[in-house]
């Protein structure tokens, strides 16, 4: 029987790359996201790779919508083997005392509360079955703040703490918990952060070859495919010329 992975935020970037990676490796997939058109496109591509696919259209910030979507899953789909909590975003790069309250609320509701909602909905089913894996997409921004990162960094610090706490809570079970912490990854992340300013977003990656969504998907799958007795607790992934969140050597 094929294993099943549920991926949040699967319409682009790391989430989309994870969908293709798991499909390539023979898994069936539950894709979630807000953009139904993009979900359908990713679903079609993964079906063409041989996967059985279900799509669930909802925003992880909407607890009731998330609950209804998960409760609609039946049979073997009701308890995925792996949950990839990928949905997340950064908005703005303002100083904390000049920040946008709406941007803050969106980041907190998505990166923290959305992750908690999905964890609460899926993990009890894994515990009941005594098998499963939660993979949270964190960030090196959760290890150290950077200029203008304030609230985004705080949300990723929360992801680290929540991942570590969940691993402790599940230690008596066979459910595994992993935190994947990328550095610079060139997706639509910076375009979203700068509210569609492509030129400003491109400047983030100037002079360095950043990671790709596919690089992160490879690592996510490595953790998911490890033997049952092996728990990859945490992985930090950096571009070669990035030493940490603040040290980047740009080759002009």
Domain boundaries, the chain: 4-237
Q: What is the pLDDT of residue 145?
A: 96
Mean pLDDT of the chain: 97
Q: What is the pLDDT of residue 197?
A: 87
Q: What is the pLDDT of residue 201?
A: 86
pLDDT band at residue 194, thresholds of 50, 70 and 90?
A: confident
Nearest to 183 by CA among 242, 232, 143: 242
User: Are 193 and 201 within 8 A, CB to CB?
Assistant: yes
CATH dotted code for 4-237: 3.40.50.720
pLDDT band at residue 190, thresholds of 50, 70 and 90?
A: confident
Q: What percent of the chain has pLDDT over 70?
A: 100
Q: What is the pLDDT of residue 191?
A: 84
pTM summary value:
0.96
Q: Is 221 a catalytic residue?
A: no
Please pick, among 20, 152, 205, 221, the residue that the annotation labels catalytic. Answer: 152
User: Which two three-digit tokens encode residue 48?
Assistant: 């063409």
* Burial of 245 per CB tally in 10 Å (0-12, 13-18, 19+): buried
Q: What is the pLDDT of residue 39?
A: 98
How far is residue 239's CA from residue 141's CA, in Å, rounded to a whole number? 14
| Strand duo 53-57 + 28-33: pairing | parallel
Task: Please state the rounded mean pLDDT for residues 13-20.
Answer: 97
Q: What percent of the chain has pLDDT over 90?
A: 92
Distances from the Cα of 27 to the Cα of 11, 18, 46, 48, angstroms: 18, 11, 10, 13
Task: Please state the rounded mean pLDDT for residues 110-120.
Answer: 98
User: Which two three-digit tokens encode residue 208?
Assistant: 């360095």
Q: What is the pLDDT of residue 135?
A: 99
């Amino acid at each position: 029987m094929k294993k099943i992975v549920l991926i949040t935020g699967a319409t682009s970037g790391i989430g989309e790359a994870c969908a293709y990676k798991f499909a390539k490796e023979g898994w069936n997939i539950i894709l979630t996201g807000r953009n139904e058109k993009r979900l359908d496109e990713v679903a079609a591509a993964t079906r063409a790779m041989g996967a059985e696919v279900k799509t669930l259209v909802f925003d992880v910030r909407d607890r009731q919508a998330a609950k209804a979507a998960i409760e609609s899953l039946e049979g073997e789909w009701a308890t995925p083997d792996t949950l990839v909590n990928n949905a997340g975003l950064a908005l703005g790069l303002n100083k904390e005392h000049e920040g946008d309250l709406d941007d803050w609320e969106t980041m907190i509701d998505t990166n923290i509360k959305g992750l908690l909602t999905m964890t609460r909905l899926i993990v009890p089913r894994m515990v009941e079955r005594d098998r499963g894996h939660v993979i949270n997409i964190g960030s090196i921004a959760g290890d150290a703040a950077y200029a203008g990162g304030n609230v985004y960094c705080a949300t990723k610090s929360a992801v680290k703490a929540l991942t570590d706490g969940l691993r402790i809570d599940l230690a008596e079970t066979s459910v595994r918990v992993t935190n994947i912490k990328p550095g610079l990854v060139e997706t639509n992340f910076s375009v979203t952060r700068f509210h569609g300013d492509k030129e400003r977003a491109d400047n983030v990656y100037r002079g360095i070859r950043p990671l790709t969504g596919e690089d992160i998907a490879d690592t996510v799958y490595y953790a998911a495919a490890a033997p049952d007795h092996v728990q990859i607790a945490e992985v930090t992934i950096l571009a070669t010329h990035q030493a940490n969140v603040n040290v980047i050597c740009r080759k002009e």
